[in-house]
Structure 1
Amino acid sequence: ATATHFSEVSYDDLVLPYNVHFSPLIPATIVCYFAMVVILRWVMKNREPLEVNKLIAVHNFILCAFSLVCFLGQLYEAILIYTNFGAFEVYCGTFIDSWDLRMAQYGIAFYWSKYYELFDTVFLVLRKKNMTVLHLFHHAIVVPVSWMAVYSRIYMGWFTSFNNTGVHVIMYFYFAIYALGYRPWWKKYLTSLQIIQFVADMSSSLPFIIFYFMGIPCRGELYAWVLANMTGVALLVLFMNFYRQTYNTRRPPVKKVQ
């Protein structure tokens, strides 16, 4: 295949048909998300939890399947790019061709899926489950951050999408079978995997900042790198705190009756 340098063909030529330019939809979604949580909790205050386990299972199986398609698709495209252009182009993507277009499409699909994932919260409220700061922050922030990764043209962002969809295959499968009544023993290891994912995401972003200050062409904007890593640090801290509170809290010793 003949590649074209990205300076000769605008990246917008690839993503314009997929409506990823900034719009009021993004802030409106976040505002409506938190408003929905408040309103639904008020509606459910004096009601019994709804039995929607089967619907939850279907919802999670859909996300599991979607994540698997994205994970395998990105892996396939990365192998093609590596085979034809080498490791540097897998990371920096300083070319435009059909493989690049397909990789961009996975990133765009990943972004749009974050809107559907907001139903995770709807089901929690309908079942009157407690929601953590981690859950609310994570679901609210991934919408603008995922959009920013596409809009800012930061090519190495596909590493984060790849890692995230890989973890989500396992995570949403866990939630699906949990909703069906199964109680997998590996919840602790799933949380550990999520923590490892954030470390891997931030570690994989380090070459970008090195290339940036060395003046080596690598597609992307500095502001996207900074904001994505700030988000990554915040999520890492919240996940580690969740892990500590959930798995490392010692139960008080049982007093013996004399």
Structure 2
Amino acid sequence: MNATLLESFDFERRFDEKVAFEWFQENWTKSFVFSTLYAAVILLGRHFMRERQKLDLRRPLVLWSLSLAIFSIFGAIRTGSYMLHTFSSSGFRQTVCDTDFYSAPVSKFWACAFTLSKAPELGDTVFIVLRKQRLIFLHWYHHITVLLYTWYSYKDRVAGGGWFMTMNYTVHALMYSYYTAKAAGLRLPKPCAMIITALQILQMAMGLTVLALVYYWHHDVHCASNMNNIVSGSLMYLSYLVLFALFFYQSYLKKEKSKDVKAE
């Protein structure tokens, strides 16, 4: 692998992860406060917009999605380079059990940035509410549970974090790029949306696999985690797997069947 990918930029080297860990250990429960405020904004926002015309917000949405796309692309590149280096030098098991991800010069900033980003990402829903689009359970449930689990996990630097963050960065890089193009008015082929949803399903299946391996190896001091994290993470990923698979079926397969029936 190209060694330049593992070279740290100045802001990455200077980032003090110890301060970040201390802050999250003291303040991770604030994720519950953010989640509560998020739910309140959804309820109040939908009530406020009930008798009002939907807002266009096309340009702000383009900028919002583009900023998250760029952030996710850089995050995927930096965390992905670390994971590839770990795999090539130490093997697959080390990529699962590695906890140096949280403090390594290349990835420590992006691990913290990923965790923090789950709070501003709640803003996705604001656009849905103000544009009076359909808000499905999967959307807000996913936002809340990811925020809670990510903040809870980061403070303990549990094994598997490198996989979780790199996969999420990669899927979000594609997803927010897709949202940016859609908001800009570009017509994209239907398979683009199907591929993104399929990748999300694959991400959830891989998340369950990683947690199963962490459980299998967690007795090893080099695969540090705890049962609370493993159980809560497994339930979260399992619920995502079911919900995203159901969404894929209802959004793409069921509609195609309906069209075939009408054609007959």
TM-score past 0.5 threshold = yes
Structure-2 separation of matches of 1:129 and 1:94: 40
The aligned counterpart of 1:177 is 181
Task: Measure how far apart 1:71 and its partner are.
Answer: 0.8
Structure 2 gap segments, 5+ residues each:
1-15
The aligned counterpart of 1:243 is 248
**Bigger CA drift: 168-177 or 154-163?**
154-163
Q: 1:155 aligns with which of 153, 156, 159?
A: 159
Task: Measure how far apart 1:88 and its partner are.
Answer: 4.4
CA contact (8 A) 1:15 1:104 kept: no
**1:3-152 alignment to 2 at 5 Å?**
14-17=17-20, 19-23=23-27, 24-82=29-87, 87-93=92-98, 99=104, 102-152=106-156
**Bigger CA drift: 141-150 or 73-82?**
73-82
CA contact (8 A) 1:20 1:108 kept: no
User: Residue deviations 1:162-211, cap 9 Å, x none?
Assistant: 01110111100111110111131121121111111111121123321111
3-state SS in 1 of match to 2:216:
helix
Structure-2 separation of matches of 1:201 and 1:255: 40
Structure-2 separation of matches of 1:204 and 1:227: 13
CA contact (8 A) 2:99 2:158 kept: no
Task: Measure how far apart 1:78 and its partner are.
Answer: 2.8
Structure-2 separation of matches of 1:82 and 1:224: 24
**1:179-258 alignment to 2 at 5 Å?**
179-185=183-189, 186-213=192-219, 215=220, 217-249=222-254, 250-251=257-258, 253-254=261-262
Structure 2 letter corresponding to 1:237: V
Structure-2 separation of matches of 1:26 and 1:159: 22
Structure 2 letter corresponding to 1:182: L
CA contact (8 A) 2:101 2:108 kept: no
Structure-2 separation of matches of 1:254 and 1:237: 28
Closer/same/farther in 2, CA of residues 75 and 94 from structure 1, 3 Å limit: closer
Structure-2 separation of matches of 1:98 and 1:108: 10
Task: Measure how far apart 1:90 and its partner are.
Answer: 3.4
Structure-2 separation of matches of 1:129 and 1:248: 22
Structure-2 separation of matches of 1:79 and 1:194: 21
Structure-2 separation of matches of 1:190 and 1:200: 15
Task: Measure how far apart 1:255 and its partner are.
Answer: 8.7
Structure 2 letter corresponding to 1:235: Y
CA contact (8 A) 2:65 2:176 kept: yes
Task: Measure how far apart 1:55 and its partner are.
Answer: 0.7
Closer/same/farther in 2, CA of residues 81 and 133 from structure 1, 3 Å limit: same
Closer/same/farther in 2, CA of residues 222 and 49 from structure 1, 3 Å limit: same
> Aligned-residue CA RMSD in angstroms?
2.4
Closer/same/farther in 2, CA of residues 161 and 42 from structure 1, 3 Å limit: same
Closer/same/farther in 2, CA of residues 187 and 39 from structure 1, 3 Å limit: same
| TM-score with structure 1 setting the length | 0.85
3-state SS in 2 of match to 1:251:
helix
Closer/same/farther in 2, CA of residues 122 and 93 from structure 1, 3 Å limit: same
Structure-2 separation of matches of 1:29 and 1:197: 25
Structure 1 gap segments, 5+ residues each:
1-12
Structure 2 letter corresponding to 1:251: S
Task: Measure how far apart 1:35 and its partner are.
Answer: 0.4
**Bigger CA drift: 81-90 or 70-79?**
81-90
Specify which structure has the higher proportion of helix. 2
